[in-house]
Amino acid sequence: MKTFFFIIATLCMTASFASSANERPWHINGFGSLGITHHTQDGVGYRRNLEQARYARSGHLNTNTDSNLGLQIGYEAHPKLYFMAQSVLRLDDKGRWAPMIPFAFTKYQFDNSHELRLGRLSLDIYTDGDSRHLGYAYTSIRPSPDIYGQIMYDHFDGFDYVIPLSINDFIFKTKVYAGRVRGNYFLQDRSFSAGKGYVYGATFDWSSADVSMRFAIGQIHRRNANDYENTANDLRALGRLPFPGLSAATGYADELERNSKISFLGIGGKWDKGPYSHTFIATKFNYSTFPSNDGWAAMLESSYRVGQFKPYVGFSYINITPKDKPLSFPSGPGLPDLSQAETTYTLATRYLATDKKTLTLGLRYDVTPSAALKFQFDRIEADKSALLKDFDTPLLRNKNLNLYSLSLDYIF
């Protein structure tokens, strides 16, 4: 509950400052979420994304999963020149409440309406805003964890360039971007950083009065050597043992230490017509890091507004399958006990394996034009998932979860 008191205190301190700056070229805005989650699945923990190092446990009212606080400061130096920085306080990969900077850039608009941004930027992959932290922008409490929760890095230091085009009632927009990738994630009870990785890609948007579409493609490259040094050494030790079934382990160690690549492409769309709203996203991706994982995910969400109320329903599915990298561990009288090594190897090849579906039912109530109260139920069925943790066994298998959530999302 300390999370609530800290966010409320900070909100009160910044509100008066923001109101006093309304008439200046400075623009000060903020956002946040006060969230509570609860479930009763014994021995299982839940988190909304790979960055979070702490899980919502059974039988507890958890305030960490969906709570955050953001502050954004902008300065319009000239009608064509704008500076902006954003900081977000949230649960990080060390299990602490710590700030991050997803945005800190300079934007210049050319005479032909092209835009160039330089600095800290986020990947432009979201359908209802430019950040997964701005809960108020989304109908549901959290943007689909089965898609956005799997993202390891979503911001970078570099540039993006936007080329807009208007034809009759249609708006087309092409964006290209590149830079040094930033961010951290938490897997196998340890934290990983982006290191010296880089990202590049492009998005293509099309929109009209009621419909918008987006196609995104990109790649993230990073070095693995330091992250997996211990596992690589263990594999080489296995490869030196005099058993033919383990000889491939040396080659697997080399694969583990090579530079890795995450490739992704996705398509999404939104249709708003009167009180109806429908959103869909489909994405395909590949992690080249040993043992190499291929995956795909999709989600569909529909809502209907009745005054200040907006009931919604959603469904999502994700599958990530690691490639088969077999080792034959010997067993029997007179042979060394390699059971622990076999368990370690299994964990090393299954850490991203996922087969999970989620049914979502919720109700959004817009208390004011800048605050929304949301009630949500999620039925999660997972054969495997990196977002769920089984505290009794190293790898989660066949767990179902009823997740109840309440959140107040606001902007100021």
Q: What is the pLDDT of residues 190-239, one digit of tens each?
A: 888 877 889 999 999 999 999 999 999 999 998 765 667 777 887 888 88
For the chain, percent of residues with pLDDT exceeding 90: 62
Number of domains forming the structure of the chain: 1
- Please say if the pLDDT value at position 4 is more than 50: no
pLDDT reported for residue 226? 63
Q: What is the pLDDT of residues 161-198, one digit of tens each?
A: 999 999 988 999 999 999 999 988 998 888 888 778 89
- 315 part of a folded domain: yes
- Work out the pLDDT band at 10, boundaries 50, 70, 90: very low
- 171 part of a folded domain: yes
Element (H, E) at 339: helix 339-350
Under DSSP, is residue 188 helix (H, G, I), strand (E, B) or coil? coil
Q: How far lies 56's CA from each of 40, 166, 257, 264, 404, in Å?
A: 10, 46, 33, 29, 11
- Domain extent, residue 305, equals 36-66+109-223+259-411
pLDDT reported for residue 6? 46
Residue-averaged pLDDT of the chain: 88
Per DSSP (E only), the strands in 9-52 are 26-38, 44-46
Contacts of 330 (CB under 8 A, 6+ apart): 243, 245, 246, 338
Of 94, 147, 105, 131, the C-alpha closest to 284 is 147
- 88 part of a folded domain: no
Of 375, 397, 376, 379, the C-alpha closest to 388 is 397
CATH number at residue 185: 2.40.160
State mean pLDDT over 262-279. Answer: 94
Return the residue matching tokens 């400052």.
Answer: 17
User: Are 358 and 383 within 8 A, CB to CB?
Assistant: no
- 250 part of a folded domain: no
- Please say if the pLDDT value at position 18 is more than 60: no
Contacts of 52 (CB under 8 A, 6+ apart): 64, 65, 91, 92, 93, 186
Of 154, 161, 197, the C-alpha closest to 177 is 161
- 228 part of a folded domain: no
Q: How many whole angstroms separate alpha carbon 223 and alpha carbon 260?
A: 6
Contacts of 12 (CB under 8 A, 6+ apart): none
- 279 part of a folded domain: yes
- Tokens (6 digits) for 123: 């990947």
- 16 part of a folded domain: no
Q: What is the pLDDT of residues 103-124, one digit of tens each?
A: 999 999 998 899 999 999 998 7
pLDDT reported for residue 313? 98
- Please say if the pLDDT value at position 13 is more than 50: no
- 251 part of a folded domain: no
State mean pLDDT over 155-166. Answer: 95
